[in-house]
A and B are shown apart, each in its own frame.
Chain A
Amino acid sequence: MSLIQEKERKQLVEILKSMTNDVTIATFTQEFECNYCRMTRELLEELTGLSDKLKLRVYDFAKESDAAKKYNIDKIPATVLLGDRDYGIRFYGVPAGYEFTTLVEDIIAVSSRDPGLPEDIAAELSKVDRPVHIQVMISPT
């Protein structure tokens, strides 16, 4: 049975038409898939089937440790969004529920290759010269 229902499927096809460039989604699972890894892979398979501009790469976390290292993945299921470069966007766990809208928003953003920041803020941020760890806690309400 499909994880994305017909109504959402149609809406997604329309939303994904606004993609201007290709986006590759890399997902990390493993041979003996846990329930969550399977759900994540199946969800992403369905999602990437809705636009020609979306590609899916499925990695085996255990067997393809070089890829895991490259994308700094230390737990699964993990989802990486890639455009012309790695923008550092990761989803851990199943990107379902409210996270699904965020996933689609991020796909559109990566596709545009534009973070949508005003020029003055982008200029300020370009001055950051070392890695900074920012942790934001949110609730859907």
Chain B
Amino acid sequence: MDFPGIVLDTSVFSQQKKPDHETVYDMLILGGGPAAMSAVVYAARKMLSLAVVTLDFGGLMRETTEIENYLGFQSINANDLVVKFEDHVKSFDIPVSLGVAVKEVRRQGRIFTVLMEDGTLFSGKTVVFCLGERHRPLSAPGEKELAGKGVSYCATCDAPLFKGKRVLIAGGGNSAFTTAFDLVRVNAEIVLVNFVEGWQADETLQQRVRSYDKIQFLDFHEVAGIEGEGKVEEAVLRNRKTGEEKRMLFDGVFVEIGLLPNSDPVKNLVELNKKGEVVIDCSCRTNVPGFFSAGDVTMVPHKQIIISAGEGAKAALTAYDYLIETNQL
């Protein structure tokens, strides 16, 4: 075997500055995904005083393995791309609050205050809100109790744990079929269950998965319950046409039924659409002056890394224009 090379994640070693609670920053960038990181690059180059507030860097990008549609990279490991983004962000030596979630964003006059889950507060003249999305739960009985005990939301993370095991996948779109493909590769026995009739995944992906003989397809079915003592043991599947229920034995349940926007911290501040996404115009402005938003948390269609990165850049530039127009710089 040839030497596999080394991965040196320099972000682990950087002594990051922390945001100051007393300072009113020109811009607070909330989030750590591609939209937020791109906003940082554009804002930092405008020499604004800014701080980043995020739980982590990368967000949902870290749950993917290979990325094959980011311009300039025919194929790149998702973690490696996050490290590249993060290195770029950290080259500007800006303060970063890591590891604590945002609880609520409020406005007092022209100033925005960001209340953190641990009670700390940060202030800014503008906010670029890029908190992204999280996995939508099934809301089936037993799901919450067995999360992490067989119920998983990340095939990239957990598929290898189900080698040769019986697995239920809830969902019928691309993420469900990609999960199926990940589990095919570890020789799992799969039942794919879709709430609606038919399947929404891309045809090419469906064909690839359908060529495997250890998958059973049940559309127009719902997961009525997940059961087990300390770990997933069985699930109740209900036929939505006939109402008939059947119990099947499983070792794991993968939930791949879409994502929910992380817009709770601003639900009392800005306009959201029916899906809970932040409503923005084509310049990333919300209905609240000085509050901008970008990336997957917004109503912009096609949740893609490259789109988020572009939106983040746009939001930062629009926020910069706002600061000039309102004589706040």
Question: Residues of A with Cβ closer than 8 Å to B?
Answer: 3-4, 8, 11-12, 15, 18, 35-36, 39, 43, 94, 96-98, 100-101, 104-105, 108, 139-141
Contacts and interface: CB of A to CB of B under 8 A. Distances in A.
A35 B7 CA distance: 20
B160 interface: yes
B10 interface: yes
Contact of B7 (A3, A98, A139): A98
Contact of A100 (B6, B156, B160): B6
Nearest to A18: B13
A101 B79 contact: no
Most chain A CB within 10 A, of B6, B7, B9, B63, is at B6
A96 B65 contact: no
Contacts of B160: 139
Classify the interface of chain A: helix, strand, loop or mixed: helix
A74 B9 CA distance: 30
A97 B1 contact: no
Nearest to B157: A141
A107 to B, nearest CB: 11
Given A139-B160, A140-B79, A141-B65, A101 B4 contact: no
A96 B13 contact: no
Contact of B6 (A8, A105, A140): A8
A140 B65 CA distance: 10
A91 to B, nearest CB: 13
A4 B6 contact: yes
Given A105-B13, A141-B156, A97 B8 contact: no
27 contacts: A8-B8, A12-B8, A15-B13, A35-B1, A36-B1, A39-B3, A43-B6, A94-B3, A94-B4, A96-B6, A97-B5, A97-B6, A98-B7, A100-B6, A101-B8, A101-B9, A104-B8, A105-B12, A105-B13, A139-B157, A139-B160, A140-B79, A141-B62, A141-B63, A141-B65, A141-B78, A141-B79
Contacts of A96: 3-6
Given A141-B156, A141-B157, A100 B7 contact: yes
Given A11-B10, A96-B5, A139-B160, 18 more contacts: A3-B3, A8-B6, A15-B10, A15-B13, A36-B1, A39-B3, A43-B3, A94-B4, A96-B3, A96-B4, A100-B7, A104-B13, A105-B13, A108-B13, A140-B79, A141-B63, A141-B154, A141-B156
B27 to A, nearest CB: 29
B149 to A, nearest CB: 15
A101 B3 contact: no
A3 B154 CA distance: 34
A15 B14 CA distance: 8
A85 B157 CA distance: 36
A12 B9 CA distance: 10
Contacts of B62: 141
Contacts of A97: 4-7
A11 B8 contact: yes
B13 A3 contact: no
Nearest to A105: B12
Nearest to A7: B8
A108 B14 CA distance: 12
A15 B8 CA distance: 10
A8 B78 CA distance: 20
Interface in B54-109: 62-63, 65, 78-79
